[in-house]
Amino acid sequence: MTEKRYKAVLFDLDGTLLDTANDLGAALNYVLSKHNIASVSKEKFRPVASDGAKGLLELGFGEQLINYDYESLRNEFLTYYQKNIAVHTRLYPGIEELLTNLNNNNIPWAVVTNKPIALTLDLLPHFSIFTDCKSIVGGDSLKERKPHPAPLLFACKEMAVDESDCIYVGDAIRDIEAGNSAGMFTIIAQWGYIIDKESCHHWQADLIAEGATNITEIIL
């Protein structure tokens, strides 16, 4: 789809490389049960998983959230999640093959996520493929977070590649905005946590990928 051979690939994490929704949803429902509030179904929490603790707590508590100490709820959520961080989390289909192909072709790759860096570093070792990741940037690694381009540019600097030679892959509009602002080739991971699949056609990405094999085809 493009003749240019890119030198590095950056990925979002939740909803792009890893399906973390079920563990995040379990953390939400744990907090809800502590406060005698009805649990949230998988169908409802999955599309919100990319929004992290804030989005999930807003989903679960709704208008009642203002009646609680938000920071206390967030700490309850994060404590439970950290202790149960990879019970149900899985790599998306084709991702291990994609990352292996990048390794075999000496194309460095990185993770740039809005997930807190401590949680990110706790999660990734559960999947051996991430030992080959060249840079890991979390949502609190810098002062700025996506949709700001700074985290992506920081990863490029760590990998010693120019941002114009990079691809950024993500499943949220903030990912595409960050990638476009950084001057990268942007790809939407349509398999991720996108509520309205048609809406992503308006995100101004360079490519919409239905699966990991589509990304392999453009890079190699």
Q: For 8-19+89-219, CATH number?
A: 3.40.50.1000
Select which of 14, 19, 171, 175 is catalytic.
Answer: 14
Looking at residue 178, what is its pLDDT?
98
Map residue 172 onto helix, strand or coil: coil
Looking at residue 9, what is its pLDDT?
97
Give the rounded percent of residues in the chain with a pLDDT score beyond 70.
98
pLDDT digits (tens, 9 = 90+) for 164-207: 999 999 999 999 999 999 999 999 999 999 988 888 999 999 99
| 133: confidence class by pLDDT, cuts 50, 70, 90 | very high
Q: Where are the domains of the chain?
A: 8-19+89-219, 21-83
Looking at residue 1, what is its pLDDT?
43
Select which of 12, 19, 171, 175 is catalytic.
Answer: 12
The whole-number average pLDDT for the span 206-212 is: 94
- pLDDT at 3 exceeding the cut of 60: no
12 is catalytic: yes
Concatenate the DSSP letters of all residues of 90-140 into one string: EEPTTHHHHHHHHHHTT--EEEE-SS-HHHHHHHGGGSGGGGG-SEEE-TT
> Are the beta carbons of 152 and 132 closer than 8 angstroms?
no
Looking at residue 4, what is its pLDDT?
65
- pLDDT at 146 exceeding the cut of 50: yes
- pLDDT at 49 exceeding the cut of 60: yes
